Each structure stands twice: as structure tokens, then as C-alpha cells.
Amino acid sequence: MRKGDMVHPPWEELPHDIWGFIFQRLPLVDRVHASVVCKQWSSALKQTPRPAWILLHLDDDTQYCHHMIMSYFDFGEGAIKYLNLPESIPKGAATGASRGWLRVRTEDTTTDNPQIYLLDPISGVQLPLPPMSTIRSASEDTNIIFPKIEISSQDASQSVVAAVFDDGKSLALCNPKDKRWTVFEGLDIADNYSYTCITFCNGILYALIIIENDATILQTRTHSIKLAGGDRHVILKLIPFSKSEISSPIFLECPLGKLDSFGNNWAAIPYLVDSNNELLLVVKILDDKVDEGDQEDEPQIPYYRVATFRAFKVEASDTVCLKRLSSLEDQTLFIDGTDIVSLPCESFSNHCIYFLEESSVYADESRKVTTYPQSGVFYLNDGRIEHSFPCGDITRRRNFSWFFPNIKIGGFN
């Protein structure tokens, strides 16, 4: 070595945090490839933050190609990107996501019966769910749609899938690739309830039930359900609330007139989420505003907009105990029109709720009010909202939702 030459340490001796900064700047596919190079890279990649995407569209472009194309906004890079999916993936529309798996709905043109399957867009793995015809009401309604599907773990091939259907009146469970759904029929109450949200937490399936009639008394119940595909059992815990309870001052902190989940000028939307192995109840509060338009003679259009959020830790034994939260510790929440996700706040602000509100319709007894497409960050400690992301052309789109892809890191013991 000549005098004056600089001596650099071997590249393999770089600390993990330096490798982490390098890998965060790689495209997702390159990260997956890098994870199988060596044990050190695989270990460093496991510590990098999970990518955050805003799913914009999942569709096929038959004019130019014969495969599905996924368009998304990469939150980390601040850009719209496209992912070409394998030609073997059936064409359909994404209806939401759970633990890194897309829920895709496709039409069966031979039987006129819609089908649902799970899709990992990164690996291209597809997991079929049982036909809808195995649900008791499917024979009467071939257009049955699952408004909500939850998966118990990221390894969906070994997990349980729970689904709410029939306008929130029914709950079904299965293992992927099962022949039929197992429909839960353990509720012995009048037809004035709905399954509003479901989530898996610590191996238990929790379901929040909203009851319209305050006179109906329903305590927390626990059930063991045997799935149709084998000897596997699922523990189900039902959490009941009346409409007046879910919209009472305990959630809203001030009376807002009629105590109904859809009042005269506001609405309360509940979510259940597993946040670092703790069960949380999050309530999104919408208030009713009027867009007066650009011209005086244009009709006024009422719409809902996000006003605030309330977060509670849930203890569900014989009765439900709620503890109001002013912080989320090391977690950040992500909420869209139907789903909620809790992730470590490594690349996001602390104690925040990042929300997306797509253009959709909320209905009450007398009218339909459309929400205004919007996004923002809600700060749980002081109630502040910042409409600071993403770029303007994203917020003007009609539909968008959160998606957090799974990265399967190379296996090194």
C-alpha cells in the first residue's frame, strides 16, 4: 500500500443502522433480492421499516397487456408507482387489505357468482377462499359482498379468515382453501344488530356489535367455533354496544343532540385494531358540512368530513371497560374508509392517526350524505389535524386505501 492511501474497513463490518439507511432507499423488489445475499443483509433488512403504500387502483389494461396492474402511491418516496402482476392472477377488483394481503373480488362469468381470493402482490401468491354459494344466503343473493375480511396472521396459508357479510348481519370463518365457510349462528337476539368491525388480537377474534334498540341487553360473550375444514377451533369474543352508547359523551365528550351513530349533522364510525398486542377501539367522528359551490345558483351539497378521533384501550371480560388514550406509545394508526392498521412509528410521527377518507356514501334514515375525499394526520395528544399529505392529485381521486406489503426476508438461521 502506498503512503497516503486511505484505509477503509471491510464493507461487511458496517453497522446495522447504516445498512438500514441504505436498504430503505432501495426499491421493494431490490430489497427482497438483497435479503438473500447473506445473513448480515437479511438481518439488517428485518429491522427496516415496513413500506407504506396508498393503493389507488387494481385493474387490467386489456388494450396493452393481459395481466393485472396495481397502481399505488409510495409514501416513503412520494411518488405514484405501478406493479405488474403475474398473468396467472385472475382479473378482479381490490376490496381492501388485511396484514399485507389484498382482498380481491372477481366475477365468475360461468356461474354469475362473485368469488373472493387473497393476493400477495409482491410474491404473486394467491389463496382462494370458499365459494360464496356455501353461505346460506348466497343461493338467494348471488351479489353478496363481503364489506370486511380479516386475517389472523401475515402467513395467511396457516391463518384463519373471518368475514362480515349480509349487510353486517352475519359472520363467517374459514381456513384458506377450505371447501366451505363456517357461519356463526350463536346470537340469540332480535334482528336489530350488526357486526360493525372485527379484528384478531392475541389469537382471539373480536367482533363489535352495534344494537339499534337500547332496551336490548347483551353482555360480552365468548364462543368457541369449530371450522368446517377440520378440527381447528376459533375463540370469538363479542363486544356489544347500543347506538346511543357508541355515540355518547363518553366518546364525544360533549352532547351533540340526538344520540345516534348518524345524527342530524355528525356521524361516529368505530374501528377495532390490534395495536402491539393490545385491543383498541378507535372512533372516527365526522361532521356535516355544506359545499356552496362556485356559483350562487348552484345547489348546496352536504357532505361529511373528518372532525376528530377518539382512541380507547379495551378490556373485555364479562363487561367492557374502556380507558381513554392520549398517546399510542410506539405505535402509529392508519385508517381508511373500512380498515385500520397499527404499526411501529419508525418512519412516522408519534401518537398520530394517518387517515384517508374516500368519496363514499353514508346513509341514515332520511338521506344520503357523501364524504369529501380527504387525507390528513390527526395528533392524539392535542386533537390537531394537518391536511399535509399526499400530493394534490392523489387527494382528488375518488377511491384510495392503505396497503402495507409483506416483505419475505431471505431465510438464514
The pLDDT tens digits of the residues spanning 19-50 come to 777 777 777 777 777 777 777 777 777 777 77
- pLDDT at 122 exceeding the cut of 60: yes
What is residue 297's predicted lDDT score, i.e. its pLDDT?
44
pLDDT band at 298 (very low <50, low <70, confident <90, very high): very low
DSSP conformation letters of 154-191: S-GGGS-EEEEETTTTEEEEE-TT-SS-EEE----S-S
- CB of 144 closer than 8 Å to CB of 93: no
* 39-92 pLDDT per residue, tens: 777 777 777 777 888 888 776 554 455 678 888 888 877 888 888 888 778 777
Residue 333 has pLDDT above 90, yes or no: yes
pLDDT of residue 7: 61
User: pLDDT confidence of 267, banded at 50, 70, 90?
Assistant: confident
Order of strands, sheet of 352-357, starting from the edge strand that comes earlier in the sequence = 340-344, 331-335, 352-357, 374-379, 385-386
**Helices and strands counted in the chain (H then E):** 6, 27
Domain parsing of the chain, residue ranges: 92-246, 254-404
| Whole-number percent of the chain with pLDDT over 90 | 16
Name which of 324, 161, 319, 313 is nearest 229 in CA terms.
161
Rounded Cα gap, residues 270 and 287, in angstroms: 15
Average pLDDT rounded to a whole number, residues 10-19: 70
150: β partners:
162
CA distance 302 to 126: 41
106-110, 340-344, 396-400, range with greatest mean pLDDT:
340-344
Q: Return the exposure string of 317-348: e unless at least 16 CB atoms fall within 10 Å of the residue's CB, then b.
A: eeebebeebeebeebbbbbbbbbbbbbebeeb
d(CA 409, CA 368): 46
pLDDT confidence bin for 5, thresholds 50/70/90 = low
Q: Is the pLDDT of residue 113 over 70?
A: no
pLDDT score of 306: 85
Highest mean pLDDT among 69-83, 132-146, 195-209: 195-209
- What pLDDT does 311 receive? 92
The model's pTM is 0.83
Least confident window among 108-117, 238-247, 397-406: 108-117
What are the backbone angles phi and psi of residue 306, rounded to the nearest 5°?
-70, 125
Determine which of 58-62, 122-126, 215-219, 267-271 has the lowest per-residue pLDDT on average: 58-62
- The 8-class DSSP code of residue 269 comes to E
pLDDT higher than 80, residue 175: yes
